[in-house]
Structure formats: structure tokens, C-alpha cells
Amino acid sequence: MKRIRLSWTHGAALLIAAFVAAPLYWMAASSLKGRTEIGASPPDAWPKDGTLANYRDAFLDNDFGTYLLNSVAVAVVATVLVLGLSSFAGYALARLPLRGKAPIMVALLMISLFPTIALAAPLFLLMRELGWLNSYQGLILVYTALNVPFAVWILRNFFLGIPKEMEEVAWVDGASPLRTVVSVILPQARPGMFTAAIFTFTACWTEFLIALTLNTADRYRTMPVGLALFGSQFTIPYGTIFAAATVSVLPIALLVLVFRRAVVSGLTAGAVKG
């Protein structure tokens, strides 16, 4: 009885794994196929003569290298800003006697759940006034603001779990508030910082609507925009797209694999956008 059940479970797990992995395999395999093979019908299950031509095309002849760097730059800077802003705000909302904490937390949540389409037009007009269309700072500012609420929630929960004695000792020893937060509290909340960082990074990395609205100039496109707008109406160069796409999946895959625990704990902490 027990053995049968065990193998049934394994069978189901394999099926699930296959369903999840098959499209990913297809993407990676197609990125290695030559120009004729990628449009072959019926398609080959395995790239017959593997070639890196698509990767050359994407990163040397086209601008996917720039898009990738733009994505990394925007996501990294936004993540750093989000962590900086949210750790102090999260600490204040967890520990300091502020009036109206509850309404603030609820408002933050409502905001973090808001559909971005409602922000697209006013942000476009705002950035146009500021001259920040097609810039890094415009996108970074928006991404920072969109991800602060969730990060505040995560970090606040972590701060609440840190024993109060730690900071009391620091106060008594005469540490300044800033010092207390930076050298006593933040190190304790490292797992929370990780989680918040990974979620912010992933959200920025995948965001499309706002990036499409604000940064359409070739030089400032992020990866999602670059991938969506590549090709003409009549031909879609899938080989090039998948070469770039495969490269874009790698960093996030690495991040997710290495910090699996942090990601899962963030998912369970109640929320995810993206």
C-alpha cells in the first residue's frame, strides 16, 4: 500500500515538473536553432546543429545588451532605494509610537494592490512635465514607490519578531536612534531584507506596462519592452528573441534558486505582485 502511494506521488510530481519545464526547455532549445530550423515544420525536438548565431544577433547586432543593462540598473537602484526607505519606515511603524499606524498600513496595502493602468496616464504626463520620459530616474522613482508598500509590510513583520531587549540595550548604552537601527536592528532583520529585496527586484525586472509607457526610446528600453517591441509586424525573429529571453531568465533563475527560502517566506508573508 505504502509503496504504491509513494510511486503515485512521484509520478504526479514528474508530470508537474514536465509541464512546468517543457516550455522553458523549448525556449532554450529554440534559442540554439539556426534561422531555417527555427521556422521548420514540423519542428525538431532538439537543435540539430546548435549555433550561437542568435545570441550574437541579439547582443552584438541588436541592442539587447543595452536593454539588459537598463533593466539591471533600474532594478538594482530601485531595490536599494526601496530597502533604504522601507527599513526605516518599517521600523517606525513596528516600534515607535506613531499615531495612525493602522490606517497607514492599510493605506499602503491598498496602494500596493492598485492596478498600474490607473497610474499610467498621469505618470506619463507628470514625467513629461519633468522631462523624465525616457530616463532612468523616472522609472526608478516609479518602481521605488510601487514597491515600498509591500517592502514596508514585510520588514515591519520582521522587526516585530526581533526581541525588544536588543534595542533597549543599545538605547541604554547611549547609541543614537540612527545607529541603533543601522547596527542593531537591520542586521537582525537580514532575512526580511533579503525577502523584500528579491521581491522588489523581481517586480522591477518583470514590470512592463509602466516601462512601456515611460521609456520607449531605444536607449532606455528595459528588457520586457525591448522583447515586446522587437521585430516588425510581419516577421518576428524568434531566434533572436529567445536568445535574449534565455539570458534574461538566467539571472532571475539564479537569484530564485539561491534565495529560494527567502522567496517562499515572502510569498507566505501574504503578498506578491508580479
Partner 1 sequence: MSDVSPGGAGQPDDDEPVTAYGRTGPPLPPDAPPGPLSGATPDPVPTPEPGSVPTPVPARARPRRPPSGAPVTGRPGRGGERRGSGRSLLDRRFARLGWCFATPALLVVLAVTLFPVSFSIAMSLSDVEVSADGFRLSGFTADHYRLVLGSERWRHALMFTVLYTIGTVLVELLLGTLIALVLERLGGAGRGWMMALLLLPWAMITVVSAQLWAYMYNGVYGVLTTLSENVTGEPVQFLGTRVPAILSMAVADIWKTTPFVAIIVLAGLMMLPSDVTEAARVDGAGAWTAFWRVRLPLLRPALTIAVLFRILQAFGLFDLPFVLTGGGPGDATESLALLGWQAMFTNLDFGPGAAVAASTAGLVLVGCLLFLRAFRARVGDEEAGR
Give me the DSSP letters along 147-196: HHHHHHHHHHHHHHTS-HHHHHHHHHTT--HHHIIIIIIHHHTHHHHHHH
Distance CA(195)–CA(274), nearest Å, equals 15
Our finding on whether 161 is near partner 1 (CB under 8 A) is: yes
Distance CA(166)–CA(170), nearest Å, equals 7
User: Do 193 and 186 touch, CB atoms closer than 8 A?
Assistant: yes
Instruction: Write phi, then psi, for 257 (nearest 5 degrees).
Output: -70, -45
Residue 175: exposed, middle, or buried by beta-carbon count in 10 A (0-12, 13-18, 19+)? middle
The residue from 52, 111, 169, 217 that contacts partner 1 (CB under 8 A) is: 111
Minimum distance of partner 1 from residue 59's CB (angstroms):
16
Minimum distance of partner 1 from residue 23's CB (angstroms):
6
Minimum distance of partner 1 from residue 171's CB (angstroms):
9
Minimum distance of partner 1 from residue 134's CB (angstroms):
14
Span between the terminal Cα atoms of the chain, in Å: 42
Minimum distance of partner 1 from residue 60's CB (angstroms):
20
Site string for partner 1, 174-213 (x = CB under 8 A): ---x---x-------x-xx--x------x--xx-xx--xx
Task: Write out the binding residues for partner 1, residues 1-40 only, by CB under 8 A.
Answer: 5, 9-10, 12-13, 16-17, 19-21, 23-24, 26-27, 30, 38-40
The residue from 49, 118, 232, 235 that contacts partner 1 (CB under 8 A) is: 118
Which CB sits closer to partner 1, 49 or 129? 129
Say whether the peptide bond before residue 42 is cis (omega within 30 degrees of 0). Answer: yes
Task: Write out the binding residues for partner 1, residues 125-144 only, by CB under 8 A.
Answer: 125-126, 129, 141-142, 144
Which CB sits closer to partner 1, 53 or 256? 256
The residue from 1, 4, 100, 131 that contacts partner 1 (CB under 8 A) is: 100
Other beta carbons less than 10 A from residue 213's beta carbon: 20
